[in-house]
Amino acid sequence: MMDTQLILTGFLKRAERYFPNKQIISRTSPTITHRIAFKDYVKRTRRLADALKNIGMTRGTKVGTFGWNHHRHLEAYFAIPCSGAILHTINIRLAPEHIVYIINHAEDEILLIDEDLFPLVEPALAHLKSVKHIIIMGDSLGVPTSSFPNVHNYEQLLQEADENFEFPEDIDEYSQAGMCYTSATTGMPKGVVYTHRSIVLHSIALGLAESFALKENDVALPVVPMFHVNAWGLPFAAINYGANLVLPGPMFTPALLLDLIEQEKVTLAAGVPTIWLGVLAEQERQARDLSSLRQIISGGSASPKGLIQAFIEKLGVPYVNAYGMTETSPLVSMSHPTSEMDNYSADELLDLRVTQGLTSSLIETEVVNENGPVPNDGQTMGELRIRGPWIASEYYKDERTVDSFRDGWLYTGDIAVLTKEGYIKITDRTKDLIKSGGEWISSVDLENALMSHPAVFEAAVIAVPHPKWQERPLACVVLKENAHAGKDELIAHLENDFAKWSLPDDVVFLKEIPKTSVGKFLKAKLREDLKDYEVPL
Ligand code: AMP
């Protein structure tokens, strides 16, 4: 067989040739929406590649992006790797010292920064060691005043560049195409490098029926940021499959997202559960027409059962849980029921939908403990490990590689069980498990049950030190607006489903649960805030 290279340039060529009139709908402000046909998108992408070459980008150059989800960011997604350079998407919500660290560690030479985000990067500029050029992405033609010497305007650079720029054809499929840093529990973020091959294979997998089933007649809305694991690969896959792409820009409020879904007839939207919790509350306040939606994909952290149920039963929108990590490109598994479950009751199906699901084709997963792989008994816990062609094999220039990559597997730090059907069910992160008197308590199950109480908006359960049991569970709860529920009522709500010893000892009511830069519960912060909390003895 032929050994043609799996490189991203092939996606651009398909977009140009087969889907010239498909659209990128990019909302850069509440009043500005850009509608760009794929044929013009590819021309702009060629111009960007030429412009970047003109200021010194060559093969292997790292180019950082610091931006929301919009068409300019999408142009960078292809112009950079298709030139043989490396697209480094930077998480705009990281702490300033982490931003400085990752730009220096990756050795970015050029930065593309959104006009409105420039003030976030400006204080860091004096500490950057490798950056030579900054390009400001925005609708205006100016650049902000700055002491940094080479600041360019994106649109101006494009105007001066060649729309017939030819991408090189001899890129090796194993060469670096992109990188993304993921927050570590301790220390600085860790870098993951994607290759052309890994991105191409992952994108193709998003078209499989068992995963996103992305196809030409879809209108895809990645709510998940383009700075977080390539917006789960949707931008790459949509260009290849010819699906319209809706990019919401800086507008992530539930009301604006719902308006966008209604107006653009979005068929598939992807984001973290926190987004969908907000969207559900807003839809209940003011209903929009959601009939175009064929699938909501939720991932990044566990989805409460009540949320999945509300989407499916109240809104009539299929809601599918997907599991992955920055290290895994990210898609590993999805919780679609199979035809063998046709006779399951609604409750049994819901129990499956809450799980992280079945492993994708081409990817292998195992749940292992000290006795080896665990059985499909829904009970025996172990650590989830993964391998496959879009799973990282190391962290970029980082000694912490040895902690997570062993014997050809990525050890995820996620604790899971396998259901009788073989679905992965994450019960905790290794660091979030609660060990009470030698027994493990899963915080995720307790959180899910608490969030099924009608008065509860969000709940996180953490371990707090205990003189007798070493650790005990403490529930941290945010109530819905104008809702009331006390500790006794919430604990009583759990009593039917949990052994008495595993119930939280106490409930603290908070205004909000602290979140990570990508909207996940930040339990390390909760544990720190509540470390002196004394549970009632
Ligand atoms: P990140 O690399 O920031 O995307 O974080 C990856 C981690 O998010 C995983 O190791 C899991 O702990 C968690 N995660 C991702 N998807 C899910 C999911 N569907 N359910 C539960 N946890 C998830």
- Where are the strands (E) in 261-402, listed by range? 268-271, 295-299, 319-324, 331-334, 358-359, 364-369, 372-373, 382-387
What is the residue with the minimal CA distance to atom 7 of ligand 1?
325
Secondary structure of residue 235 in the 3-state scheme: helix
Give the tens place of pLDDT for each residue, 4-33: 999 999 999 999 999 999 999 999 988 899
Edge to edge, the sheet with strand 244-247 lists: 32-37, 23-29, 244-247, 219-222, 268-271, 295-299, 319-324, 331-334, 358-359
Please tell me if the CB atom of residue 323 comes closer than 6 angstroms to any atom of ligand 1: yes
* Residue 167, pLDDT above cutoff 90: yes
Q: Which CATH superfamily is domain 364-429 in?
A: Luciferase; Domain 3 (2.30.38.10)
Q: Ligand 1 test: best mutation among 190, 297, 308, 323, most atoms within 8 Å of CB?
A: 323
* Residue 256, pLDDT above cutoff 80: yes
How far away, in angstroms, is 339 Cα from ligand 1 center?
27
Give the tens place of pLDDT for each residue, 381-436: 999 999 999 999 999 999 999 999 999 999 999 999 999 999 999 988 877 888 88
Q: What is the length of the chain? A: 537
In ligand 1, which atom is closest to the CA atom of 298? 19
Confidence at residue 18, expressed as pLDDT on a 0 to 100 scale: 98
What is the residue with the minimal CA distance to atom 23 of ligand 1?
301
Q: Which residue has the tokens 């499989």?
A: 208
Confidence of residue 78 (pLDDT cuts 50, 70, 90): very high
What is the residue with the minimal CA distance to atom 8 of ligand 1?
300
Catalytic site residues?
A: 182, 327, 435, 440
Q: Ligand 1 test: best mutation among 328, 384, 411, 426, most atoms within 8 Å of CB?
A: 426
Q: Measured between alpha carbons, how far is residue 517 from residues 95, 187, 359 in Å?
A: 9, 15, 27
For the chain, the domains span 9-252, 364-429, 434-529
Give the tens place of pLDDT for each residue, 123-154: 889 999 999 999 999 999 989 888 899 999 99
* Residue 251, pLDDT above cutoff 80: no
Go through 22-58 and write b for each residue having 16 or more CB atoms within 10 A of its CB, e for each that does not: bbbbbbbeeeebbebebebbbbbbbbbbbbbbeeebe
User: Parallel, antiparallel, or unpaired for β 382-387 and 364-369?
Assistant: antiparallel
The two most distant CA atoms of the chain are separated, in Å, by: 73
How far away, in angstroms, is 366 Cα from ligand 1 center?
16
Confidence at residue 444, expressed as pLDDT on a 0 to 100 scale: 85
In ligand 1, which atom is closest to the CA atom of 444? 21
Q: Which CATH superfamily is domain 434-529 in?
A: ANL, C-terminal domain (3.30.300.30)
| DSSP label of 249 | B
pLDDT (average), residues 214-224: 97
* Residue 62, pLDDT above cutoff 90: yes
Please tell me if the CB atom of residue 61 comes closer than 6 angstroms to any atom of ligand 1: no
Give the tens place of pLDDT for each residue, 171-190: 999 999 999 999 876 678 99
Give the tens place of pLDDT for each residue, 293-324: 999 999 988 888 889 999 999 999 999 999 99
Question: In whole angstroms, what is the distance from residue 195 CA to residue 65 CA?
Answer: 17
Task: Report DSSP letters for 336-369, one per residue.
Answer: ---GGGTT--HHHHHHHHTS-BEEPTT-EEEEEE
Mean per-residue pLDDT over the chain, rounded: 94
Which residues pair with residue 440 across a beta bridge?
Answer: 435
How far away, in angstroms, is 110 Cα from ligand 1 center?
30
* Residue 330, pLDDT above cutoff 70: yes
Instruction: Tell the CATH topology of 9-252.
Output: Rossmann fold (3.40.50)
Q: Is 511 exposed, middle or buried (0-12, 13-18, 19+ CB in 10 A)?
A: exposed
Between 268 and 274, residue with greater pLDDT:
268
Q: Ligand 1 test: best mutation among 194, 301, 423, 448, most atoms within 8 Å of CB?
A: 301
How far away, in angstroms, is 111 Cα from ligand 1 center?
28
pTM of the full structure: 0.90
Please tell me if the CB atom of residue 91 comes closer than 6 angstroms to any atom of ligand 1: no
Q: For residue 393, report the phi and psi dihedrals to the nearest 5 degrees.
A: -110, -5
